[in-house]
Every structure is written in C-alpha cells, then in structure tokens.
C-alpha cells in the first residue's frame, strides 16, 4: 500500500477525507508542545514567534544534545495526550494547528474541537523514540527554553514522520473512545470469570 503523506502547511483538503484508524506520515514542520506550552498559550495568551497555522504539533519532551552548530535530536517519542485535554480545543482554535500528535486518546472536548476546526489527533507509537528521532531532519529552532529540555517548544523539520494513526478525525470520530467502550464491555465478561475463582479466604 502506498504511503499517505501529509505535507505542511496543511489545508482542509489534505485531511478531511481521513478516517479514524488510517495511517499517515508527515513531511514538513513539526513542533513539540506539551503541558507548560499549552498553559502559556491558552491560559496566558502568550504566542511563540513561530506561526502554527496549518502546522502540526507533537506532544513530546525530547532528549536533545547541544552541538557546535546547533542541536541534535537524540530521542523523541510522544507523551500522554490526555494531559493536554483541558486546553487542546482552545489551542487548536487559537493557533490553527491542523494535526495534534501524541500517544493514547483524547476526550470529547478535543474531538469537538477537531470537528469544528477540521483538525486531527493522531498517535505515534509510544516509546519508539529513536525511530522518531531518525525521522527528524533538522532542529530549526527552539523557543520557551525557560521550561527546561522536555517542555521547550522545539521546532523541527521532519520527513515522513510516522506511522501516525488517526485517532480523532475531522468528523469528530474518536477511535480511543470507541475502543474504550469495547474494553469496558469485555471487562465485565472477563471479570465475571475471574471473580468466580479468587475467593481465597476461609469459609
């Protein structure tokens, strides 16, 4: 199957027909933004100098090595997206970000934001941080270094960054919420069986 590659700047046409579970790759600009960056932008209204309109963000805190000529990306994998749930809808509205990449699912509020703004949430396989680092062509710059290495706003040029699995599509469908409903249903069945056999105390 041919690789589906999305290129920044991203317009609606590139992503509006994608469906949850689809696998895509990203080429172009990608910036890291996690807890502190979301708080600074959404709650305090402070914007980075880099324009996020049509861009993609990655929930991640990388290991970066300073070199004579700049920075080297050592290891960069996604962090738990759910931590950003409180701010992500506003973040997308305020910045025009088109793809939010992280790990694990996000909630109903973000799904609503994706639907209204035609944006996506995708997951990059958690923990696969060296593979991801090898897809970073260059660290173009960094802002908000006062947060420390994990929380800073690292601006990267990436090539075929992925696989990215669409977890919320532009219609607001939410893969993790669907899976979770299924897991909860199966949990009840699985529990019924285990509970029959763990009455270890004396009668």
Partner 1 sequence: MDNLKKLKDILVEFISVVSIHLPDDVYHSLEAMANKEDGRIGNELYGCIFDNLEKAKTLGRPLCQDTGVLQFFIKAGTKFPYLDELEETIIEATKEATEKTPLRHNVVECFTEENTGNNVGTRAPFIEWEIIPHSDELHIDLYLAGGGCSLPGRSKVLMPLEGYEGIVKYVFDTIVEWGVNACPPLVVGVGIGTCSATAALLSKKALLRPVGTHNPNPLAADMEKRMKKGLDKIGIGPLGLTGKESVQAVNIEYAAHHPATLGVGITVGCWATRRGAIDIRSDLSYDIPSHKEAR
Give the binding site for partner 1 (CB under 8 A).
21, 23, 60-63, 65, 74-77, 79-82, 103-105, 123, 125-131, 133-134, 147-151, 163, 165, 175-176, 179-180, 182-184, 186-187, 189-191, 193-195, 197-201
Cα-Cα-Cα-Cα dihedral sign, residues 120, 125, 126, 127 = negative
- Return d(Cα 167, Cα 152) in angstroms, integer: 25
For the CB of residue 51, give the shortest distance to partner 1 in the complex, in Å: 26
CB of residue 11 vs partner 1: minimum separation in angstroms?
Answer: 27
Q: How far is the CB of 13 from partner 1 (least distance, A)?
A: 26
Q: Considering 38, 59, 121, 202, which one is annotated as catalytic?
A: 38
Asked about 121 being catalytic, the answer comes back as no
How does 151-171 read in b/e, with b if 16+ C-beta sit within 10 Å? bbbbbbebeebbbbbbbbbbe
CB closer to partner 1 out of 12 and 181:
181
> For residues 13 and 195, which CB has a smaller minimum distance to partner 1 in the complex?
195
Q: Which is nearer to partner 1, 49 or 193 (CB)?
A: 193
CA 103 and chain centroid, separation: 6
Least separation in angstroms between CB 118 and partner 1: 24
Indicate the residue among 63 and 86 with the shorter CB distance to partner 1: 63
Evaluate whether 50 touches 97 at the Cβ level (below 8 Å): no
Closest CA to 89 of 35, 38, 153, 147: 38
Catalytic residue set: 38
């Amino acid at each position: 199957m041919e690789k589906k590659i999305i290129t920044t700047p991203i317009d609606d046409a590139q992503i509006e027909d994608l469906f949850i579970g689809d696998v895509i790759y990203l080429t172009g600009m990608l910036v890291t933004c996690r807890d502190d960056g979301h708080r600074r932008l959404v709650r305090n209204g402070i914007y980075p100098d880099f324009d996020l309109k049509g861009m993609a963000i990655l929930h991640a805190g990388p290991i970066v090595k300073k070199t004579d000529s700049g920075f080297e990306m050592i290891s960069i994998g996604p962090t738990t997206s759910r931590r950003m749930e409180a701010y992500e809808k506003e973040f997308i509205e305020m910045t025009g970000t088109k793809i939010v990449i992280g790990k694990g699912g996000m909630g109903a509020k973000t799904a609503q934001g994706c639907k209204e703004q035609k944006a996506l949430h995708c997951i990059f396989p958690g923990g696969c941080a060296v593979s991801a680092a090898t897809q970073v062509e260059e660290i173009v710059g960094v802002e908000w270094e006062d947060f420390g290495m994990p929380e800073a706003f690292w601006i990267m040029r990436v090539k075929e960054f992925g696989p990215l699995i669409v977890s919320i599509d532009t219609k607001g469908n939410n893969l993790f919420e669907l899976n979770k409903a299924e897991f909860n249903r199966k949990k009840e069945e699985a529990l019924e069986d285990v509970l029959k056999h763990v009455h270890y105390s004396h009668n």
